[in-house]
Amino acid sequence: MSTGSRAATRRPRRSLAPYAFLAPAVLLFAAFLALPIGYAVYLSLRTVKVRGLGLGKGSREQVWAGLSNYSKALTDPDFAASVLRVAAYGVIVVPTMLGLALLFALLLDTPRARARKFSRLAIFLPYAVPAVISSLLWGFLYLPSVSPFHHVADRLGWPLPDLLSSGNVIFAVANIAVWGGVGFNMVVIYTALKAIPSEIYEAAELDGCGQIAIAWRIKVPVVLPSLIMTFVFSLIATLQVFAEPVTLRPLTNTISSTWTPLMKVYRDAFTRDDLHSAAATSVILAFATFVLSYGFLRLVQSRAFGQENR
């Protein structure tokens, strides 16, 4: 066999190699993401029709519902209230969490910082605690009857407010999210800071810049892509908040079963046995998450492109 024919037979085998490596990822994506999303969309377009008293075989069947489930979900006052509540929760959590993460990353990146490894580990450690465990921990710290903070404050004559009351419970839930999320975002931003060449800092110091000026004029603009990425992650996590309020709910009467949109989905699916309404609400949340994330990224890219063309 000639050299040219051997090369021709090897070429198809080499061209199939990338697809072979991609096949496991594609199969997992299809099995655990694409198919569940497609099935949720399918369920959201159907409903259960009950015949007679709903007893006996064949008395309940799925029929086509069109967009009625979506209309019912969007006009549900519980859903609207949960969306507004999550929006207020996000206004509290996202700026606070990213601001603290940026502050800690800048402090750890200063030349005078000490015990950096221990500090990074201590700040990151809450992120490794599961949300349910951290919610239970903070929940008992919030309860006035068992909280050591309330006990010490009462002894000193400084009564603390009840963080599980109706006016403060949103801050109690937000505190758990901030406590657990600052470490991850700090590591992302700190990693971006370590990629900045030291020559830039030396040149800035020769020009008379202090550490605050270097942080504001050099470090923050350089880590802006990391801040954008962490903002998108935080936005998605905000829309999907579930574990914290569900865990705190047995400790207080101020958290309803529809406190967040995902809690409403859980109630509709597993308490009311209305999978079709729950599927419609889930699709609406997924679409809103995609629109907000994609819209924010497009806005950032358009502004960056406009600044480059100036």
- Give the per-residue pLDDT at 306: 61
What CATH number does the domain located at 76-273 have? Answer: 1.10.3720.10
Q: Where are the domains of the chain?
A: 76-273
Query: Which of 264, 245, 243 minimizes the C-alpha distance to 77?
Result: 264
pLDDT along the chain (310 residues), means of 10: 53 72 90 90 86 59 84 92 95 96 93 86 93 93 88 86 90 96 95 89 84 88 91 92 94 93 94 90 93 87 66
CA distances for 276 relative to 47, 62, 109, 270, 287, angstroms: 6, 10, 51, 11, 17
Residue 244 in contact with residue 131, Cβ under 8 Å? yes
Residue 47 pairs in a beta bridge with 63
How much is the pLDDT for 114? Answer: 84
Distance of CA 35 to the CA centre of its chain: 22
